[in-house]
Amino acid sequence: MSVQDLELNCQIRGVLARHWIDPNRLSFSARRGHVHLSGELLVIGADKDKEKTIGVLQAVEAEIRRVQAVRTVTFELTNWIRDDGGAWICTELATGPVRISAAQGKTVDAVEIAGGIS
């Protein structure tokens, strides 16, 4: 791993920490400008508040994309997916689906985004 990759990983870790993302549930890797986040995205202190989590998710994505070395961002989350319109959808069964369109939040770039449910 290059020094640039180590610095990028440190920056991504800082973004996740600033937004109180549970590091035990979400893993990430960053290499050559490609950032991959996978696992369960939980915001510490959000207490299952889906609306708050969507806002944090949008902010995290926007902040990661603003990092100069980042070229692409991919998500493979177990509890959130993206629909064709760019809206984040919570997939947890305990509550009904929560959907926030990209138009309601910050502008979302159409960069490779993968969502999946295990």
pLDDT at 93: 64
Average pLDDT (2-20) is 95
Q: Averaging pLDDT over each range in 33-37, 43-47, 87-91, which range is the top one?
A: 33-37
H helical segments located in the chain? 3-18, 50-66
pTM over 0.95: no
pLDDT at 37: 97
CATH code matching the domain that covers 3-75, chosen among 3.30.70, 3.40.109, 3.40.50, 3.30.565: 3.30.70
pLDDT at 110: 34
Q: What percentage of the chain has pLDDT greater than the value 90?
A: 58
Q: How many CA atoms lie within 13 A of 62 on its CB side?
A: 12
Query: In Å, how far from its chain's centre is CA 110?
Result: 14
Note whether 76 and 36 are within 8 A (CB). yes
* Position 80 confidence tier, pLDDT thresholds 50, 70, 90: very high
